[in-house]
Amino acid sequence: DADVTQTPRNRITKTGKRIMLECSQTKGHDRMYWYRQDPGLGLRLIYYSFDVKDINKGEISDGYSVSRQAQAKFSLSLESAIPNQTALYFCATSPSGTDTQYFGPGTRLTVL
CB of 106 to other proteins, least distance (A): 6
Q: What share of the chain is helix, strand, coil (3-state, %, to 5)?
A: 5, 60, 40
91, β-bridge pairs: 34
List of residues 6+ apart from 62 with CB closer than 8 A: none
Query: How many chain residues are in contact with other proteins, going by CB under 8 A?
Result: 25
Give the separation between CA 10 and CA 110, rounded to whole angstroms.
8
Considering only 24, 25, 75, 94, the residue that binds other proteins (CB under 8 A) is 94
Q: Which of 12, 16, 18, 41 binds other proteins (CB under 8 A)?
A: 41
Distance separating alpha carbons of residues 112 and 99, to the nearest angstrom: 36
The correct pick among 8, 16, 28, 105 for binding other proteins (CB under 8 A) is 105
Question: How many residues comprise the chain?
Answer: 112
Identify which of residues 49 and 85 has a Cβ nearer to other proteins in the complex. Answer: 49
- 46-85 residues in contact with other proteins (CB under 8 A) are 48, 50, 58
43 contributes a contact to other proteins by CB under 8 A: yes
- As a whole number of angstroms, the distance between CA 87 and CA 52 comes to 26
List interacting residues with other proteins (CB under 8 A): 31, 33, 40-45, 48, 50, 58, 88, 90, 94, 96, 98-106, 108
